[in-house]
Amino acid sequence: MIKATNVTKKYGGLKALDDFSVDIPEGKIGVLGPNGAGKSTFVKIALGLLTATSGEITVLGEKLTKNTTSIRKRIGYMPEHDCVPDEMTGVEFLIEMGMVSGMSLAGATERTHEILGHLRMGEEKYRLIGEYSGGMRQKVKLAQGLIHAPELIFLDEPTSGLDPNARREMLETINGLTEVSNTKVLLSTHILQDVEMVCDTVIIVKDGKLQMHENVEKIIGEKSNFIQIRVGGPVEDFISELKKKKITAEDDGRVLIVPYKDDSTYDQIIDATVKSNCLLYEMERTTQSMDSVYQEIVE
Amino acid sequence: MKKKAQVSDRFRDFDANLTTRPWIVLGMGLRRFEKFFSSKNKVMMGLVVIIYLWTLAFYVLLGNSEDYPCRDFVDEYKSCVPLNYYGDLGSQAGLRLFIISLAAIASGGMIGNDMANKSLHLYLSRPISRIDYLIARFIPVFLLLLMVTAVPNLMVAIAMWSDTGLETEWITNHKWLFVDILVQGIFYSAAYSIIGLTFSTILKKESNASGAFFLFVYGTSIIAETFFSILTAFEIDGSDGVLLLSVSHLLDMISYAIFDAKYYVMAFGWPWEVDIGGTEVGVVFTFIFAGCCGFMYWMILQMEANK
Share above pLDDT 90 across residues of chain B, in percent, rounded to a whole number: 59
Task: For residue A91, name the pLDDT band (cuts at 50, 70, 90).
Answer: very high
Q: Give the integer Cα–Cα distance in Å for A32 and A36.
A: 11
pLDDT at A48: 82
Do A124 and A203 lie in one domain? The reply is yes
Arithmetic mean of pLDDT, A96-123: 92
The domain segmentation of chain B, as residue ranges, is: 2-305
Task: For residue A37, name the pLDDT band (cuts at 50, 70, 90).
Answer: confident
| Phi and psi angles of residue B56, each rounded to the nearest 5 degrees, phi first | -65, -45
Arithmetic mean of pLDDT, B83-108: 90
pLDDT at A193: 83
Do A106 and A242 lie in one domain? The reply is no
Task: For residue B306, name the pLDDT band (cuts at 50, 70, 90).
Answer: low
A38: contact with B, CB 8 A cutoff: no
Q: Give the integer Cα–Cα distance in Å for A288 and A220.
A: 7
3-state secondary structure at position A230:
strand
Do A168 and A245 lie in one domain? The reply is no
Arithmetic mean of pLDDT, A274-282: 90
Taking an 8 Å cut-off on Cβ atoms, the answer to whether A49 and B304 are in contact is: yes
Q: Give the integer Cα–Cα distance in Å for B71 and B73.
A: 6
Taking an 8 Å cut-off on Cβ atoms, the answer to whether A114 and B31 are in contact is: no
Q: Give the integer Cα–Cα distance in Å for B256 and B86.
A: 11
Do A282 and A215 lie in one domain? The reply is no
**Which residues of B are less than 8 Å from A100 in CB distance?**
24, 27-28, 123, 126, 128
For A123-174, the pLDDT digits (tens) are 889 999 999 988 899 999 999 999 999 999 999 989 888 888 888 888 988 8
How many domains does chain A divide into? 2
B14: contact with A, CB 8 A cutoff: yes
pLDDT at B40: 86
Do A92 and A215 lie in one domain? The reply is yes
Judge whether B125 and B132 are in contact, CB under 8 Å.
Answer: no
Suggest the residue from B10, B119, B304 to mutate for an interface test with chain A (most A CBs closer than 10 A).
B119
Arithmetic mean of pLDDT, A187-212: 87
pLDDT at B1: 43
**Which residues of A are less than 8 Å from B300 in CB distance?**
none
Taking an 8 Å cut-off on Cβ atoms, the answer to whether B304 and A50 are in contact is: yes
Residue A285 has pLDDT above 70, yes or no: yes
Taking an 8 Å cut-off on Cβ atoms, the answer to whether A181 and B126 are in contact is: no
For B235-251, the pLDDT digits (tens) are 888 788 899 999 999 99
Share above pLDDT 70 across residues of chain A, in percent, rounded to a whole number: 95
- Quote the minimal CA–CA distance from B190 to chain A in Å: 23
| Phi and psi angles of residue A186, each rounded to the nearest 5 degrees, phi first | -120, 110
Do A233 and A174 lie in one domain? The reply is no
pLDDT at A290: 65
**Which residues of B are less than 8 Å from A99 in CB distance?**
24, 27-28, 31
Mean residue pLDDT across chain A: 87
Share above pLDDT 70 across residues of chain B, in percent, rounded to a whole number: 95
* Residue ending a domain, choose from A171, A197, A220: A220
Least confident of A116-120, A223-227, B90-94: A223-227
Instruction: Pick B72 or B50 by higher pLDDT.
Output: B50
- In chain A, which residue's Cα lies nearest the Cα of B305? A50
For B97-142, the pLDDT digits (tens) are 999 999 999 999 999 999 999 999 999 999 999 999 999 999 999 9
**Which residues of A are less than 8 Å from B11 in CB distance?**
114, 118, 180-181
* Residue ending a domain, choose from A220, A236, A261: A220
- Quote the minimal CA–CA distance from A192 to chain B in Å: 23
Please give the distance of CA A252 from its chain centroid, rounded to a whole number.
Answer: 27
Judge whether A96 and B31 are in contact, CB under 8 Å.
Answer: yes
For B5-44, the pLDDT digits (tens) are 555 677 777 888 889 999 999 999 999 999 999 988 999 9
- Quote the minimal CA–CA distance from A212 to chain B in Å: 26
Domain membership of residue A260 (yes or no) is yes
Closest CA to A90 of A135, A52, A136, A51: A136
Suggest the residue from A39, A69, A87 to mutate for an interface test with chain B (most B CBs closer than 10 A).
A69
Task: For residue A254, name the pLDDT band (cuts at 50, 70, 90).
Answer: confident
Strongest mean pLDDT among A4-8, A47-51, A217-221: A4-8
B175: contact with A, CB 8 A cutoff: no
Do A278 and A155 lie in one domain? The reply is no
pLDDT at A169: 87
CATH of the domain at A246: 3.30.70
Please give the full DSSP string across B261-296, using - where no structure is assigned. Answer: ---EEEETTEEEE----HHHHHHHHHHHHHHHHHHH
Residue B3 has pLDDT above 60, yes or no: no
Do A187 and A101 lie in one domain? The reply is yes
Residue A34 has pLDDT above 90, yes or no: no
Q: How many CB pairs under 8 A join A and B?
A: 106
- In chain B, which residue's Cα lies nearest the Cα of A69? B127
Q: Which helix (H) or strand (E) holds A128?
A: none
CATH of the domain at A16: 3.40.50.300
Do A177 and A234 lie in one domain? The reply is no
pLDDT at B2: 47
3-state secondary structure at position A288:
coil
**Quick one: residue B235, left, alpha or beta (phi over 0 = left, psi -120 to 50 = alpha)?**
left
Residue A197 has pLDDT above 50, yes or no: yes
Taking an 8 Å cut-off on Cβ atoms, the answer to whether A103 and B16 are in contact is: yes
Arithmetic mean of pLDDT, B179-193: 96
Domain membership of residue A295 (yes or no) is no
Do A208 and A234 lie in one domain? The reply is no
Task: For residue A288, name the pLDDT band (cuts at 50, 70, 90).
Answer: low
* Residue ending a domain, choose from A175, A198, A220: A220
pTM, two decimal places = 0.85
Taking an 8 Å cut-off on Cβ atoms, the answer to whether B304 and A96 are in contact is: no
The parent domain of residue A193 ranges over 2-220
Q: Which helix (H) or strand (E) holds A77?
A: strand A75-78
pLDDT at A67: 57
Instruction: Pick B54 or A121 by higher pLDDT.
Output: B54
